[in-house]
Amino acid sequence: MLLIRPFLRANHLRRHRAHLIVFFIFIVSNTAGLLTPLGDPPLFLGFLRGVPFQFTLRLFPQWGLVVGSLLMLFNIYDQFVFTREEIETHRALAEIVQARHPLQIQGKRNFLYLLGVMLAAVLNGYFAWPRGVQEAMMITMARLSWYTTPRSIHRENHFHFSPIVEVAALFLGIFVTMVPALEILNARASAFDLKAPWHFFWLSGALSSVLDNAPTYLTFTAMASGLVGASVENLGSMLRSGLGETLLAAVSCGSVFMGANTYIGNGPNFMVKSIAEAQGIKMPSFGGYMVYSGLILIPLFIIVTFVFFRG
């Protein structure tokens, strides 16, 4: 959410911008967040359940394959679109879109508030504060940011609460309806006969695409921990066996990567879409977005399966 508005501003002279936002969702909002528990909600919940903070660094090979491939595909596709725009407009677009103003950061005090939010999240994982302490600290940081940041900065960034309200309403509906689905999954887990890492990668990913990926992660790590005899309350105990570590990696990758498959797979996806539309970008429909993910992400996830999780 820190990067979307500067990204939009840097590309505001482009004629075709929808693909820029789609790849932004693929990379920034989802797959690039695999390396730390602060990068994606499922991983943060795993950290709170005992997964070591540095565990996700072991997923660098999976991260490198997916993010590197997406960046390469984006560069190829954007070069094609960029050239087409130059032909359509009969202009030297490369010169037009070059920055005319140096990059500046205003409201630097907000980095302190952001650091406060990060510390609240990390320290809560280590010290298991009573319920409400972490939330109170985060709300305090948010309120300080709102009241101490000049309104001119909010206006220049086109900041408003509409995208947040839209996402809150959407995910309220998802949270209400997903509870029965996850309860059925928990009750009939044995019927699925999940054993291989690729089973956990694809099934956790499939559900993360249509439900919120955070509770989906908890559901499948609970199933995986039962398979290796680890504690559900201490998911870090899965790392005592090679199979447990592989299953935890599979669920982590599935939940994070495939949250990019739809607009509702991860909260920031829909928020980025709303912010882009508020600035006049015609985004793909729900089905149109899935065409992008089906053609780009699914083949990439098949490669990930054969390279890392086929056992």
- The stretch 108-118 carries a mean pLDDT of 87
- The stretch 201-219 carries a mean pLDDT of 88
pLDDT at 229: 84
- Domain spans of the chain, in order of start: 4-99+160-308, 111-148
Q: What is the pLDDT of residues 251-304, one digit of tens each?
A: 999 999 999 999 988 888 988 998 899 888 999 999 999 999 999 999 999 999
Residues 6+ apart with CB under 8 A from 126: none
Round to whole Å and give the CA distance between 71 and 226.
37
Of the pLDDT bands very low, low, confident and very high (cuts 50, 70, 90), residue 179 is low
| 99 has a pLDDT exceeding 60 | no
pLDDT at 265: 86
Round to whole Å and give the CA distance between 301 and 65.
10
Give me the phi and psi of 251, to 5 degrees please: -65, -40
Phi-psi region of 129 (alpha: psi -120 to 50; beta: other; left: phi over 0): beta
Of the pLDDT bands very low, low, confident and very high (cuts 50, 70, 90), residue 149 is confident
Query: Buried (b) or exposed (e) across 253-282, using 16+ Cβ within 10 A?
Result: bbbbbbbbbbbbbbbbbbbbbbbbeeeebe
Of the pLDDT bands very low, low, confident and very high (cuts 50, 70, 90), residue 34 is very high
